[in-house]
Structure 1
Amino acid sequence: MTTPPPCSPSSLAPLSRVACIGGGVIGGGWIARFVLAGIDVKVFDPHPEAERIVAEVLANAERAYGLLTGAPLPPRGRLSFCATVAEAVAQAQWVQESVPERLDLKRRVLAQIDAAAPPEALIGSSTSGLKPSDLQEGLAHPERLFVAHPYNPVYLLPLVEIVGGTETAPGTIAQAKAVLEAIGMKGVVIAREIEAFVGDRLLEALWREALWLIKDDICDVETLDDVIRYSFGLRWAQMGLFQTYRIAGGEAGMRHFLAQFGPCLAWPWSKLTDVVDLDDALVEKIGAQSDAQADGLSIRELERIRDENLVGIVQALKASREGEGWGAGKLLADFERRLWSAAGDRRAPDAPDASAPLALVETRVSPAWIDYNGHMTEHRYLQVFGDTTDALLRRIGVDLAYVEAGHSYYTVETHLRHLDEAKLGETLRATCQILASDDKRLHLFHRLFAGPEGREIATAEHMLLHVDTQAGRATPAPAEVLARLAPLAEAHARLPAPPAAGRAVGQKRASLAATA
């Protein structure tokens, strides 16, 4: 199998052309994930409203990404819809099949894909339970087909189960894993194919027991969901099952836990081997309870609430371990580092327009940023201003590699003014003006604007010192950094001084105007 072409300038992944066959809940999520990674996507879906459905999923995905990260995404990939499978896959490097879960249908569609796609194109199936060996039957190029089973919403949940069949080439699995990593996903390779793989087998066991609990009137659907989301669901989000139980074993760990609780497995607690009869009465019972639980919220509204909650959880995990991240949060942190690196590669080498304060950061107010008043909590203002300072430093060459080499700029003094409130989901834009600089010091003034009207909601004044982080003392910045800083500082010296610069805490507004 040939290697895909190198990463295109606008894309994060080692490919630039994808075909998605099927644009429903899962297919639409794949489309959004690829498009927002800067990859061109061609879609085939015979549903008469496919374009509307995909557009709504993509809109939700863009909103979620705006809340999830302030890192600069690449330019959106081009999205187009095709009249046939053959047209969609003709130039694809990766084809993602997401048609309904019927073996005959999937085999028929995969045969069309296999016949029309370039021989080197990877073919992933979103099947949630069918074995890849069964899907490979009759294909001319079975070595490139594998299962790529995601979780909904695909654009936010990073896991993909990668499962090869008897004829899948090892190189196919390796390439698939690399592509998924590049677009912020976690490809886990399942060692041996089995129906329903790993995740769905675990979910099916829980689902089966849940249906019995509802049928037997032990609880209703809301109580059952409460049991999950207020207890072990929170643990699973960050440590999974086995690591959680390792802790439950105390200092003796997993062996003690298994010795203490292992005998319980023989007790007749569960009905996991019994199949519940989903007759009309039980379907109506569950449906009515689910309707009551939804309390009038539409599916789209529930999706947005779900996305906001997932964003908050992932961001909390990203902040753990002193910012190193944990689980899905570490995956996000690593992905953001690649985004910032790619954004640096896309920047033009010419000096930016310095005839006005630099617009350096654009982000949205995340659910994790909201306080008890329903507005952005105060330390998040400082976070955005810190991101603005970091953006300026990257422009003058003080990037992650520079810091890892032992030098940086440290903020030694800050004055922040809160002028207005920011609300959930609002767009934020931050600018930076260089007030003064020398070989060691950098004096900055930031302004923060919110909403489409661009109302000013905060300002921040910072003094930074260039430091040798290994020696722990201030030191002059190197000539190459000062050379990048100089034209910006000279241009900004010609700008009017911000009226709030040099303001003291508690200074009255009237005296501020008098000193302008």
Structure 2
Amino acid sequence: MTGEAFTPKRCGLVGGGVIGAGWAARFVLNGHDAVLYDPSSDSRARAEAILTMARAAWARLMPGALPPEGRLLIAATLDEALDDAAFVQESLPEIETLKCDVLGRIDALLPASVPIASSTSGLLPTRLQAGLRHPERFVVGHPFNPVYLLPLVEICGGAQTSDETKETVAAFYRAIGMQVLHVRKEVDGFIADRLLEALWREGLWLIEEGVATTAELDDAIRYGAGLRWSFMGTFLTYRLAGGDAGMRHFLAQFGPALKLPWTKLVAPELTDALIDRVASQSDEQAGGVTVRALEGLRDEALVKIIRALATVGPEGYAAGATLNAFIARNAGKATDEGTVAADGTLTSWHGTVSPDWIDYNGHMTEHRYLQVFGEATDNVLAVIGAGRDYVAAGHSFYTVETHLRHLGQAHDGMAITVRTHILDADAKRLHLFHTLTKAGDDAPLATAEHMLVHVDAVQGRSALIPESVATAIAALRAAQSALPIPEAAGRAVVMPRRP
């Protein structure tokens, strides 16, 4: 196991409930084969349904940035799931004896070099690894539902877990778009679930006492603190509440309230009466909307929140920063993206039309075409050595002129591709022509012609293209020399005058 270089092609998954199937979807969408074993009769249907939801969510979350998918395979036996697996994620029910028994079988079947991670939400890793022959390769990797969208994963090692295992598994999780939270010390429930448990206990007490219903408690969160929690958490929020003096002032002002008997963190007994009350209120709150429909609403909301956070600040904020870093690491991994075919064709963008790109006519809206062509240009710049690192170093290409033509219609869910022809270049300028088509089709839906000028961003003026980039441009132009010049190249927007 070697940290950053650890990229397992085949991942074994043991347990195919909501969490296990969610892991499978995240692995598959990152290009890994996920081999799932679960003896229940509905495991295949559940895994395939969750993968379908995840695929749709990712198409909206990262249009144009998806790598080629891996395969979802359903194993008939535990041995089959583990065969040739380079990483294993266990997601069995929270029953310690069951987990220990199955983990022992997994440990006996795998080479000592294969990491084993458990999705347990609170069982201590030292106890789970106690009977293993190779306890050093066992670690907790606790995710949150839906695993394919929420980036947080808590990593907690046991007394015998090696630092190498924790680092290797953490690097793998980061590579598949997750935000790793290392749990410094073993504690029941780890970190996030302990916070959630405190809120859950207080909520049950408020329901038992007739203070609030399930809907009112959820409203108290989703219309208030929950909106802040999605990007700032509790402690940074309270720091702001302290004004310019920060946290010390907040604690001095509100700290005494901690002595007041506000909260009842000892949960009430779950009597039949309380269970009936919570369940009936929950049914009323759902209003007849199915679980699958609620999952769809949840995914749509999460996608839009994370995408919005990706636009905050220079690098995104909170989960948005994690998304941006993941997209940057995967730049060019989309199918054929950044590749030059034998005939010189350069595929510069590949993705799927997202539902939020659709206008009132049911077609892809105008500004999304410009977005796609802009991202295609960015990918071309990366190919010639003028990508993110180049821009960070103080140089860039600025688009100074654009001409778009709309020739067809792109619809929700349509896979689309952009191919780019470098028409010309000189010491400071780059002339590009993009053609957007339905994937697998040559008929253009739209074209875009761009003129870019190379600039020194620090000086704020045009600058000569450096030799290394100019050489890469020349090589691409040479590879494309046999391509015909697009008939629309150089066309201007004009309205013919009648004589």
TM-score using structure 1 length: 0.86
For residues 346 and 444 of structure 1, what CA distance do their matches in structure 2 show? 16
Report if aligned partners of 1:433, 1:445 keep a CA contact under 8 Å in 2.
Answer: yes
Matched, 1:29 2:22: yes
Distance 2:413 2:218 in 1: 27
Distance 1:384 1:457 in 2: 12
1:296 has 2:284 as partner: no
Kindly provide the amino acid, as one letter, of the partner of residue 286 in structure 2.
A
Alignment partners' CA distance in 1, 2:127 and 2:436: 56
Using the TM superposition, give the Cα deviation of residue 72 of structure 1 relative to its aligned residue in structure 2, in angstroms. Answer: 3.5
**Are 2:381 and 1:393 equivalent residues in the alignment?**
yes
* Matching of residue 142 in structure 1 with residue 129 in structure 2: no
1:403 is the counterpart of 2:396: no
Residues 188 and 238 (structure 1), Cα distance of their counterparts in 2 relative to 1, 3 Å cut:
same
1:440 aligns with 2:431: no
Q: Which of residues 471, 485, 489 is equivalent to 1:480?
A: 471
Query: In the alignment, which residue of structure 2 is the partner of 1:503?
Result: 493
Partner SS for 1:73 = coil
Q: Tell me, yes or no, if structure 1 residue 413 matches structure 2 residue 406.
A: no
Distance 1:285 1:344, change over 3 A: closer
Residue deviations 1:400-458, cap 9 Å, x none? 34434443321012344678887765545444455554443333344556799999775
Q: Partner of 1:87: helix, strand, or coil? A: helix
Does the 8 A contact of 1:461 with 1:501 survive in 2?
A: no
Confirm or deny: 8 A CA contact 1:435 1:493 kept in the other structure.
no
321, 343, 355: which one aligns with 1:330: 321
Gaps of 5+ in 2: none
Contact 1:95 1:121 in 2 (8 A): yes
Aligned position for 2:217: 224
Aligned counterparts of 2:268 and 2:378: Cα–Cα separation in 1: 57
Question: What is the percent sequence identity of the aligned residues?
Answer: 49
8 Å CA contact retained: 1:308, 1:367: no
| 1:189 and 2:185 aligned | no
Q: Could you tell me whether the CA contact under 8 Å between 1:312 and 1:368 is conserved in 2?
A: no
Distance 1:470 1:249 in 2: 38
Corresponding position: 1:152 with 2:142: no
Rounded Cα–Cα distance in structure 1 between residues aligned with 2:329 and 2:319: 16
State whether residues 434 and 488 of structure 1, in contact with CA within 8 Å, keep that contact through their aligned partners in structure 2: no
**Relative to structure 1, is the Cα distance of residues 373 and 249 closer, same or farther in structure 2, using a 3 angstrom cutoff?**
farther
Query: Is the 1:375–1:423 Cα contact (8 Å) retained in structure 2?
Result: yes
Tell me the alpha carbon deviations over residues 450-501 of structure 1, each in whole angstroms, 9 at most, x when there is no partner: 7999997755442211223344333443340331342366445533226x93
Amino acid in structure 2 at the alignment position of 1:221: T
How far is 1:162 from its partner?
0.9
Is the 1:433–1:444 contact (alpha carbons within 8 Å) kept by the matching residues of 2?
Answer: yes
Judge conservation of contact 1:312–1:366 (CA < 8 Å) in 2: no
> Once the 2 structures are TM-superposed, how far is the Cα of residue 239 of structure 1 from its aligned partner?
0.9
Q: Is 63-72 or 249-258 further displaced after alignment?
A: 63-72
What is the SS of the residue equivalent to 2:31? coil
Whether contact under 8 Å (1:160, 1:187) holds in the other structure is yes
Deviation at 1:116, TM superposition (A): 0.8
Secondary structure of the residue that 1:340 maps to in structure 2? coil
Decide whether the 8 Å contact of 2:334 with 2:350 is kept in 1: no
In structure 2, distance between residues paired with 1:359 and 1:168: 45
Match of 1:10 in 2: none
Structure 2 distance, partners of 1:456, 1:280, is 64
The reply to whether residue 283 of structure 1 matches residue 275 of structure 2 is yes
CA distance in 1, matches of 2:456, 2:110: 55
Distance 1:327 1:5, change over 3 A: closer
1:64 equivalent in structure 2: 57
Q: 1:18 to 1:362 in 2, by over 3 A?
A: same
**Pairing 1:195-344 to 2, within 5 Å after superposition:** 195-273=188-266, 275-322=267-314, 324-340=315-331
Whether the aligned pair in 2 keeps the contact of 1:354 and 1:492 (CA below 8 Å) is yes
CA positional deviation for 1:253: 0.4
Q: Go from structure 1 to structure 2 and tell me whether the alpha carbon gap of 1:227 and 1:503 turns closer, same or farther (over 3 Å shift).
A: same
Shift of 1:237: 0.7
Distance (whole Å) between structure 2 residues aligned to residue 409 and residue 423 of structure 1? 31
Report the secondary structure of 1:238's partner residue.
coil
Question: Retained in 2: the 8 A contact 1:64–1:307?
Answer: yes
Label 1:451 to 1:268 Cα distance change in 2 as closer, same or farther (>3 A).
Answer: farther
Which amino acid counterpart does residue 174 of structure 2 have in structure 1? E
Q: Is the 8 A contact 2:430 2:453 kept in 1?
A: yes
TM-aligned CA distance change 1:245 to 1:364, over 3 Å: farther
Bigger mean CA deviation after superposition, 371-380 or 254-263: 371-380
Distance 1:95 1:232, change over 3 A: same
Q: Kindly indicate whether residue 349 of structure 2 is the aligned counterpart of residue 361 of structure 1.
A: yes
Mean CA deviation greater in 205-214 or 481-490: 481-490
For residues 286 and 328 of structure 1, the distance between their equivalents in structure 2, rounded to whole angstroms, comes to 32
Instruction: Pick closer, same or farther for the CA change 1:75–1:367 going to 2, 3 Å.
Output: closer
Give 1:122 shift. Answer: 1.1
The structure 1 residue matched to 2:165, chosen from 172, 176, 183, is 172
From 4, 7, 13, the counterpart of 1:20: 13
SS at structure 2 position matched to 1:108? helix
User: How many residues are treated as equivalent by the alignment?
Assistant: 495
Which residue identity is paired with 2:290?
S
Shift of the 454–268 alpha-carbon distance from structure 1 to 2, 3 Å rule, reads farther
Comparing 99-108 and 87-96, the one that deviates more: 87-96
Gaps of 5+ in 1: 8-12
**CA separation in 2, counterparts of 1:421 and 1:265?**
60
Q: Which moved more, 1:308-317 or 1:282-291?
A: 282-291
Q: Kindly tell me: are residues 367 and 252 of structure 1, through their superposed partners in 2, closer, same or farther at Cα, counting changes over 3 Å? A: farther
Flag the 1:354–1:342 CA change in 2: closer, same or farther, 3 A.
closer
Q: What's the offset of the Cα at 1:285?
A: 2.8
2:40 paired residue number: 47
Alpha-carbon spacing, 1:262–1:419, altered in 2? closer, same or farther (3 Å): farther
Maintained 8 Å contact 2:59/2:66: no
Q: CA deviation at 1:97?
A: 0.8
Q: Which amino acid aligns with 1:329?
A: G
Bigger mean CA deviation after superposition, 205-214 or 286-295: 286-295
**Secondary structure in 2 aligned to 1:230?**
helix
CA apart distance, 1:148 = 1.0
Distance 1:342 1:24 in 2: 30
